[in-house]
């Protein structure tokens, strides 16, 4: 027994020594550039489940919590993460069609760089061969099949060639017109009420975004007052199946059905897939080809007319890409709108400026028109400032395909060369970039006016940049401008007064209302709002 214990302890010590030697080697590989030095690497999905313990873990939601503070602490717009052990890794993975390589997964580099002031960020976002997307981190999003978000190389090029035409000017107009109709229907639901309250504003923005993506994405109109009649052969309505787009666990865990919630989510996923298969069959078999401008129809049309020699998408790929449209067009947009409404409620002066612009552009009882969308400059500025302060994703991950290095200027004005070893991970740190005072003076202040006139476009990446920039940017902007304009023209947005918070200071109120948590996208915890009808 004693001998066995000695062997076990010896093996553990040998393992620890080897890991420590690899750790020191990793530090040398990046010239020991300043940053986090950790016992456990919890980057990736594991990041959301561990508290901040100095020297042990970086901490749950730490990029958002720290914003630009780490870069100020270490005196450079690039910091490194090095750890002795890792709880999330992928030692081998495909790299943009260039083959397989070993990954130094205990080294990660995070940057908050603006291409206007440095070539580095531009290189990272545009040179896909040198800095490919680590697609293994996106496997949770392959619920129905591979898609434009979860692929690289030739497969990604094929998906982009087929999906990009769906985001057309005709689709944008459809988004605008349907959004205006949906918000008008909402007002009809509110009727003659002078005040309407929501304990959490996502109860307003989630269904609004769902109805918009339903009709502009799938060609299926839904309404606020429709009866939830389940069609024959289904267990849920299309409206209900579209709600469950948040992914926190791998599909195989959900399919174990350990909780009632897990079973409901799985049913929703299965139902959504069944609806999409039905739509494919229905539109392919239709004798009369209607002219449709929703994303799903445009995607089907683009796939059907692929030239000879080009590989079309199979049904699972069509559905996989459509699901990504749903995910991005539903939850992400809904959360951004929720933050925008909260910020307007917290800043009545900015809300009044938006109201005056909207009243000037939409006089009397008229409805806002898509043809005038470019005139809604202050509304777009409010949306952009919301996206700057609450970027939907925390980082844009990349991997390093070949040994390279980057040279940057630190806060002391000195040039610093940072090696980037092949196989290490690199990511653009969105909160760090969007709160970098070099590009955004007084970055913690809500100031939409910073987006009027000249502003650092290269330091604003809520939709990413380069070839992999989000195709749905204009979709989101169109929907958001229509929603905010319609609401502010008809209602004044206020924070809902609640007795238990009567004694809080303005700073405490702001912190409470804007509190966030991690999710598929940045998620507001609870935003209580009151809408007062304008007279």
Q: Say yes or no to pLDDT of 194 above 60.
A: yes
Residues 423 and 315 in one domain: no
Q: Are 352 and 388 members of one domain? A: yes
Residue 165, phi then psi, degrees to nearest 5: -60, -20
Residue 132 belongs to a domain:
no
Q: Which of 380, 414, 434 is the endpoint of a domain?
A: 434
Residue 28 included in any domain? yes
In the chain, how many domains are there?
2
In angstroms, the first-to-last Cα distance of the chain is 85
DSSP state of 42: -
Q: For tokens 């204009």, what's the residue?
A: 474
* Residue 92 pLDDT class (50, 70, 90 cuts): very low
Q: Which of 79-93, 146-160, 304-318 ranks highest by mean pLDDT?
A: 146-160
Question: Is residue 36 within 8 Å of 29, Cβ to Cβ?
Answer: no
Give 229's contacts (C-beta < 8 A, 6+ positions apart). Answer: 237
Average pLDDT over residues 298-311: 73
Shared domain for 246 and 295, answered yes or no, is yes
> How confident is the model at residue 288, as a pLDDT?
59
Where is 32: in which H helix or E strand? none
pLDDT in tens, 161-180: 888 888 999 999 999 999 99
Instruction: Give the pLDDT score at 307.
Output: 60
Looking at the structure, tell me whether residues 372 and 428 fall in a common domain: no
Phi-psi region of 61 (alpha: psi -120 to 50; beta: other; left: phi over 0): left
> Residue 43 and residue 394: Cα distance in Å, rounded?
12
3-state DSSP helix/strand/coil % of the chain, to nearest 5: 50, 15, 40
Query: Do 30 and 176 fall into the same domain?
Result: no
Both 356 and 469 in one domain: the answer is yes
| pLDDT above 70 for 281 | yes
Average pLDDT over residues 417-428: 83
Residue-averaged pLDDT of the chain:
84
* Distance in angstroms (rounded) separating the CA atoms of residues 157 and 174: 27
Query: In sequence order, what are the residues at sequence separation of 6 or more whose Cβ sits closer than 8 angstroms to the Cβ of residue 405?
Result: 417, 418, 419, 420
What is the CB neighbour count within 10 angstroms for residue 533? Answer: 14
Does 466 lie in the same domain as 364?
yes
At residue 120, the pLDDT reads: 65
CATH number of 482's domain: 1.10.630.10
In a domain, 137, yes or no: no
Q: What is the DSSP string of 194-234?
A: SEEEESSTHHHHHHHHHHHHHHHHHS----SS---PPPTT-
User: Are residues 383 and 323 located together in one domain of the fold?
Assistant: yes
Residue 27, pLDDT > 80, answer yes
Tell whether 173 and 291 lie within a shared domain.
yes
Can you read off the two tokens belonging to residue 327?
């995910």
**Is residue 76 within 8 Å of residue 408, measured between CB atoms?**
yes
Instruction: List C-alpha distances in Å: 487 to 98, 329, 349.
Output: 50, 20, 16
Domain that holds residue 119: 2-126+395-434
pLDDT bucket at 124, cuts 50 / 70 / 90: confident
Give the up-direction half-sphere exposure of residue 388: CA atoms within 13 A in the CB hemisphere. Answer: 31
- Of residues 433 and 228, more confidently modeled: 433
**Residue 110 covered by a domain:** yes
The reply to whether 446 falls in a domain is no
Q: Residues 308, 320: one domain?
A: yes
Indicate yes or no: pTM above 0.85.
Answer: yes
Position 137 pLDDT exceeds 80: no
Distance CA 349, CA 360 (A): 17
Most confident stretch, 128-132, 184-188, 241-245, 267-271: 184-188
Q: Does 95 lie in the same domain as 230? A: no
Residue 146 domain-assigned?
A: no
Q: Would you say residue 343 lies in a domain? A: yes
Would residue 143 count as lying in a domain?
no
245 shares its domain with 362: yes
Q: How large is the average pLDDT for residues 222-245?
A: 76
């Amino acid at each position: 027994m004693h001998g066995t214990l000695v062997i076990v302890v010896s093996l553990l010590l040998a393992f620890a020594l080897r890991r420590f030697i690899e750790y020191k080697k990793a530090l040398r590989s990046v010239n020991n550039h300043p940053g986090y030095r950790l016992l456990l690497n919890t980057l990736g999905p594991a990041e959301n489940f561990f508290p901040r313990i100095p020297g042990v873990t970086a901490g749950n939601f730490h990029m958002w919590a720290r914003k630009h503070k780490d870069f100020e602490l270490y005196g450079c717009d690039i910091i490194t993460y090095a750890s002795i052990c890792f709880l999330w890794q992928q030692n081998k993975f495909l790299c943009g069609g260039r083959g397989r390589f070993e990954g130094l997964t205990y080294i990660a580099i995070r940057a908050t760089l603006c291409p206007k002031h440095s070539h580095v960020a531009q290189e990272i976002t545009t040179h896909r061969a040198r800095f490919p997307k680590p697609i293994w981190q996106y496997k949770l999003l392959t619920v129905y099949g591979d898609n434009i978000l979860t692929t690289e190389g030739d497969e990604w090029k094929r998906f982009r060639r087929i999906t990009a035409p769906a985001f057309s000017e005709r689709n944008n107009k459809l988004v605008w017109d349907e959004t205006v109709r949906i918000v008008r229907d909402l007002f009809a639901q509110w009727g003659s009420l002078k005040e309407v309250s929501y304990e959490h504003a996502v109860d307003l923005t989630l269904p609004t975004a769902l109805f918009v993506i339903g009709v502009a994405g799938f060609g299926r109109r839904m309404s606020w007052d429709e009866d939830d009649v389940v069609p024959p052969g289904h267990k849920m309505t299309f409206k209900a199946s579209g709600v469950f787009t948040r992914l926190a666990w791998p599909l195989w865990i959900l399919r174990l059905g350990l909780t009632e919630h897990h079973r409901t989510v799985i049913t929703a996923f299965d139902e959504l897939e069944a609806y999409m298969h039905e739509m494919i069959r229905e539109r392919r078999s239709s004798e009369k080809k209607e002219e449709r401008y929703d994303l799903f129809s445009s995607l089907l049309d683009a796939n059907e007319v692929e030239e000879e020699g080009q590989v079309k998408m199979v049904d699972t790929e069509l559905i996989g890409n459509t699901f990504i449209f749903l995910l991005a067009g539903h939850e992400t947009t809904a959360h951004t709108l929720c933050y925008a409404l909260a910020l307007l409620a917290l800043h009545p002066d900015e809300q009044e400026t938006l109201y005056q612009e909207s009243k000037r552009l939409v006089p009397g009882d008229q409805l806002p028109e898509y043809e005038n969308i470019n005139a809604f400059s202050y509304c777009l500025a409010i949306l952009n400032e919301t996206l700057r302060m609450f970027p939907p994703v925390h980082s844009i991950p990349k991997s390093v395909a070949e040994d390279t290095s980057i040279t940057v200027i630190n806060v002391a004005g000195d040039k610093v060369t940072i090696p980037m070893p092949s196989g290490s991970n690199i990511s653009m740190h969105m909160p760090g970039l969007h709160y970098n005072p070099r590009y955004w003076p007084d970055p913690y202040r809500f100031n939409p006016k910073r987006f009027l006139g000249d502003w650092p476009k290269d330091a604003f990446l809520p939709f990413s940049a380069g070839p992999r920039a989000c195709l749905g940017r204009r979709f989101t902007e169109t929907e958001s401008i229509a929603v905010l304009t319609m609401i502010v023209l008809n209602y004044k947005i206020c924070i809902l007064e609640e007795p238990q918070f009567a004694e809080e200071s303005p700073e405490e109120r702001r912190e409470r209302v804007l509190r966030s948590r991690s999710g598929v996208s940045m998620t507001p915890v609870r935003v209580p709002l009151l809408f007062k009808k304008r007279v």
